[in-house]
């Protein structure tokens, strides 16, 4: 692949949206499969956390003058454990500093326990208009296996309350669980569809280093479905949800047209976003070019750094032209819409044929993995199922 020389302009990045990600790093307990930056603490000083998040927000707002937010996402961890007043203060400051036009998507991740569901109205009043809930399974034995603190009945009550409280909502399911058959999964997905509205995220269970499941898996005490069964489960998911009107718009995300997560689309379209809170990542187009940002992962060290410097961010990493193109393709090929060639050219400042390995594209197209049309490059459904292998061949 040829090196790129031109720099992406802020204008090009703006077209893809500008998001704010806020990381809340605490959970009531640690799930055995999860390697997200989440920690269990007896108590948290909400006022201290609010002030620190506001200070780091100011830090990033100072660096990005003149930009208007197109989405906000409170992720975690378990942000539904936040005090709604903290959420409100962050949204108010985000509006003052960047602008948060009425109707902008504001999502909060929530765990479906009654403690959290009781706060839904307060989150709505604070400005949250979309909730994403970690249901994970509609089977009580599997919920226990996944270390979840909720039952199916409790989860469905939380879903009903979320539907009544927010304009938009989504929930997450995890499949390819030990012992799962295609028939049982189809049945579970059909039951999930009774409760879904516009959006559903369906993740294949992955074994992440440093988790309890990793230890069990290494000892042979946790056996996952083999590759063939996992493939069948994936295909069953695609077929069933597409037939129900929620096609995959991304590898693991399904939505009725128009109900896609606007915030996650910013990531996948390789737009800019500021990330605040411990372990948050960001991508920003600054006057000197695009940078990757990341903050200290540890909650207490992050608080100390913010107190001392106004931010827990590490040194920004400049993202060179070749890396930008790689990242744009890695993110964009996850989407069913693919990557517009005009976006590649805007990022590269050169004709797309100068920067994309055309012979690799043609070969992958012959194998039914990629499609190149007059205006875009996209992975086929088969290509999205094997995206890592496709990217390896494409990016070399």
Ligand X SMILES: C[S@@+](CC[C@H](N)C(=O)[O-])C[C@H]1O[C@@H](n2cnc3c(N)ncnc32)[C@H](O)[C@@H]1O
List residues binding ligand X (CB under 6 A). 27, 33-34, 36, 75-76, 78, 109, 111, 134, 136, 172, 174, 203, 205-206, 208
Residue 158 has, within 13 A of its CA and on its CB side, a CA count of: 28
- How far is residue 167's CA from residue 157's CA, in Å, rounded to a whole number? 17
Binding mask 181-220 for ligand SF4 (x = CB under 6 A): ----------------------------------------
22 is a contact residue toward ligand SF4 (CB under 6 A): no
CB of 27 to ligand X, least distance (A): 6
- How far is residue 54's CA from residue 220's CA, in Å, rounded to a whole number? 46
How far is C-alpha 42 from the geometric centre of its chain's CA atoms? 27
Phi/psi at 186 (5° precision):
-60, -40
253 vs 285, which CB is nearer to ligand SF4? 253
Interhelix angle 46-63/299-309, rounded to 10 degrees, is 60
Closest CA to 112 of 69, 161, 73, 61: 161
299 is a contact residue toward ligand SF4 (CB under 6 A): no
172 vs 327, which CB is nearer to ligand X? 172
205 vs 333, which CB is nearer to ligand X? 205
Interhelix angle 321-332/387-395, rounded to 10 degrees, is 150
Q: What residue 30 binds from ligand SF4, ligand X, none (CB within 5 to 8 A, per partner kind)?
A: ligand SF4
Q: Among the residues of the chain, which ranges form H helices?
A: 10-14, 46-63, 84-97, 114-117, 120-126, 140-145, 152-165, 182-193, 212-218, 227-243, 262-268, 299-309, 321-332, 341-348, 352-355, 358-366, 381-385, 387-395
Q: What residue 4 binds from ligand X, ligand SF4, none (CB within 5 to 8 A, per partner kind)?
A: none
Q: What residue 313 binds from ligand SF4, ligand X, none (CB within 5 to 8 A, per partner kind)?
A: none
CB of 208 to ligand SF4, least distance (A): 10
- How far is residue 370's CA from residue 395's CA, in Å, rounded to a whole number? 13
Name the one residue in this structure whose structure tokens are 């799930």: 31
Phi/psi at 391 (5° precision):
-65, -35
76 is a contact residue toward ligand SF4 (CB under 6 A): yes
Closest CA to 257 of 265, 269, 249: 249
Residue 376 has, within 13 A of its CA and on its CB side, a CA count of: 14
Q: What residue 127 binds from ligand SF4, ligand X, none (CB within 5 to 8 A, per partner kind)?
A: none
107 is a contact residue toward ligand SF4 (CB under 6 A): no
- How far is residue 169's CA from residue 86's CA, in Å, rounded to a whole number? 21
Contacting residue, 64, 71, 78, 295, with ligand SF4 by CB under 6 A: 78
CB of 308 to ligand X, least distance (A): 28
187 vs 208, which CB is nearer to ligand SF4? 208
The piece of 25-33, 43-51, 208-216, 297-305 that touches ligand SF4 (CB under 6 A) is 25-33
The piece of 76-84, 215-223, 237-245, 381-389 that touches ligand SF4 (CB under 6 A) is 76-84
- The count of other CB atoms within 10 Å of the CB of residue 106 is 27
CB of 80 to ligand X, least distance (A): 8
CB of 255 to ligand SF4, least distance (A): 21
Contacting residue, 10, 30, 247, 386, with ligand SF4 by CB under 6 A: 30
Q: How many residues bind ligand SF4 (CB under 6 A)?
A: 11
393 is a contact residue toward ligand SF4 (CB under 6 A): no
132 is written with which tokens?
Answer: 């994403």
36 is a contact residue toward ligand SF4 (CB under 6 A): yes
60 vs 213, which CB is nearer to ligand SF4? 213
CB of 34 to ligand SF4, least distance (A): 3
CA angle 131, 132, 136 (to 5 degrees): 145
Contacting residue, 112, 134, 225, 338, with ligand SF4 by CB under 6 A: 134
Residues interacting with ligand SF4, by CB under 6 A?
27, 30-31, 34, 36, 38, 76-78, 111, 134
């Amino acid at each position: 692949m040829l090196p790129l020389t031109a720099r992406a302009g802020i204008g090009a990045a703006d077209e893809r949206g500008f998001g704010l990600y806020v990381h809340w790093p605490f959970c009531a307990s640690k799930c055995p499969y999860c390697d997200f930056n989440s920690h269990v603490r007896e108590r948290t000083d909400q006022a201290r956390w609010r002030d620190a998040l506001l200070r780091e927000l100011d830090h990033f707002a100072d660096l990005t003058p003149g930009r208007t937010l197109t989405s906000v996402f409170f992720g975690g961890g378990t942000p539904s454990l936040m005090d709604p007043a903290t959420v409100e203060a962050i949204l108010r400051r985000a509006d003052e500093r960047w602008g948060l036009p009425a109707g902008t998507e504001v999502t909060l991740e929530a765990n479906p326990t009654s403690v959290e569901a009781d706060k839904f109205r307060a989150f709505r009043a604070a400005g949250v208009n979309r909730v994403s809930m970690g249901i994970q399974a509609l089977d009580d034995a599997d919920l226990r296996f996944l270390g979840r603190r909720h039952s199916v009945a409790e989860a469905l009550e939380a879903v009903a309350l979320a539907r009544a409280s927010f304009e938009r909502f989504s929930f997450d399911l995890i499949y390819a669980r030990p012992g799962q058959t295609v028939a049982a999964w189809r049945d579970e997905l059909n039951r999930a569809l009774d409760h879904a509205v516009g959006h559903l995220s369906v993740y294949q269970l992955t074994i992440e280093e440093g988790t309890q499941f990793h230890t069990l898996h290494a000892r042979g005490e946790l056996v996952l479905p083999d590759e063939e069964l996992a493939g069948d489960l994936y295909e069953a998911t695609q077929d069933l949800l597409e037939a129900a009107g929620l096609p995959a718009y991304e590898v693991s995300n399904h939505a009725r047209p128009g109900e896609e997560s606007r915030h996650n689309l910013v990531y996948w379209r390789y737009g800019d976003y500021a990330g605040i809170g411990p372990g948050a990542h960001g991508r920003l187009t600054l006057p000197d070019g695009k940078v990757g940002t990341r903050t200290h992962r540890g909650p207490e060290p992050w608080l100390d750094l913010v107190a001392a410097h106004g931010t827990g961010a590490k040194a920004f990493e400049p993202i060179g032209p070749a890396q930008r193109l790689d990242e744009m393709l890695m993110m964009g090929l996850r989407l069913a819409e693919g990557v517009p060639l005009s976006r590649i050219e805007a990022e590269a400042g050169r004709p797309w044929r100068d920067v994309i390995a055309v012979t690799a594209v043609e070969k992958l197209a012959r194998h039914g993995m990629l499609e190149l049309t007059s205006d875009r490059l996209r992975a086929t459904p088969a290509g999205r199922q094997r995206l890592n292998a496709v990217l390896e061949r494409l990016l070399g």
